[in-house]
């Protein structure tokens, strides 16, 4: 009986050869900055908008935690809770 083609576990053509040097070139900061030139120009405004949205969400969340005095960030009145937590769950 012969092994099926799917069970031979032979390396694919792509895996037989090492990765070309240019795919591994983004190791230093200057090399990573050179890689930014390969980003299409159409994606730069999208990146700016997404970056601003992430910054605004972080700022508003941080401000909410700092300014809102009604927001409970930790448990209160722990001595009033029953000793057995399994009863209420």
d(C-alpha 89, C-alpha 87), whole Å: 6
The residue among 58 and 88 whose pLDDT is bigger is 58
* pLDDT over 90 at 48, yes or no: yes
Cα 64 from chain centre: 24
* 0.75 exceeded by pTM: no
If you search the block for the tokens 């930790």, which residue do you land on?
74
C-beta neighbour count of 26 within 10 angstroms? 13
d(C-alpha 80, C-alpha 10), whole Å: 66
Confidence grade of residue 30 (pLDDT, cut at 50, 70, 90): confident
């Amino acid at each position: 009986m012969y092994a099926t083609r799917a069970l031979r576990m032979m390396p694919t053509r792509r895996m037989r050869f090492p990765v070309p040097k240019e795919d591994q070139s983004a190791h230093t900061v200057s090399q990573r900055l050179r890689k930014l030139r390969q980003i299409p120009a159409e994606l730069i405004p999208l990146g700016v908008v997404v970056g601003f949205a992430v910054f605004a969400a972080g700022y508003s969340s941080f401000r909410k935690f700092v300014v809102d005095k009604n927001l409970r960030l930790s448990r209160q009145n722990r001595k009033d809770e029953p000793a057995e937590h399994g009863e209420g769950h």
